[in-house]
Amino acid sequence: MTTKHVVRAALSACAVLALCTTTAGAAAMAAPAPSVLRVQAQGDLNDPAKKEIAMELVSSAENSSLDWKAQYSYIEDIGDGRGYTAGIIGFCSGTGDMLELVQAYTDSEPDNVLAKYLPALKKVNGSDSHAGLGSAFVNDWKTAAKDSAFQTAQNNERDRVYFNPAVNQGKSDGLGALGQFIYYDAIVMHGPGDDGTSFGGIRKTALKKAKTPAQGGDETTYLNAFLDARKAAMKTEEAHSDTSRVDTEQRVFLNAGNLALNPPLRWKVYGDPYSIG
């Protein structure tokens, strides 16, 4: 994670997780099954190749790199009041998701180097405190990141809290791979809650302007409405005020009609150019 972008992106998955107690809210908004045929026509983000693209796109915005797998070992306090931010999706010691991750890791690997920090993680949850953690925890996090079991735990938590709810809602709304990714990137930054600046609230705002394909609406029109709503939400927070991941990334793909998110892909985030394929 480069210091250049941590304030802008703030690894926002953790930044809003404290406000989001469940991912069921997004799934509960699912529309009827007719969307399935549309998704098959426009791609499925669960396809391994598409999922890899999604991971690289998010990493370009969050980490200034397409190498998302290099982020398992990332950990620092970026000064946002949420304690340590770490790992591939920005798990935070102050918002509960880091605690859940380490607990899941310990459930599968009881003797891991992070297990001894569970009591401290429980105490600092909800604060920016490093009590009981500190440099020893940072070093042990980096050691654990070399363990495939810890990498798997990070992947599983990412999928459980962010990726799967986004893709499932996208499919229910009749969206192809691009729309599913647009949902995923929004959940990563804003969290899966229902307030105005969380994913659920952004989606509700978009629905006031356009129908989803599952409701008989035009996919491009709906996604433009969603991106408009997301930009408005981003601008309410200084850390998210740079909207280039929408303007010069997602909107570029949408304007090109690439609803299936097929490579080659060319985009910019914070002015930096990236490409896949």
Residue among 44, 47, 52, 62 flagged as catalytic: 62
* Residue 33, C-beta contacts closer than 8 angstroms, at least 6 positions apart: none
Residue burial 238-262, b: 16+ Cβ < 10 Å; e: rest: ebbebbbbbebbbbebbeeebbebb
Q: Is 128 a catalytic residue?
A: no
Residue among 80, 97, 109, 185 flagged as catalytic: 80
Tally Cβ neighbours within 10 Å of residue 230.
27
Q: Is 80 a catalytic residue?
A: yes
Token couple for 91: 């798990």
Identity of the amino acid at 36? V
* Residues 75/63, Cβ–Cβ less than 8 Å: no
CA angle 201, 203, 208 (to 5 degrees): 100
- Residues acting as catalytic residues: 62, 80
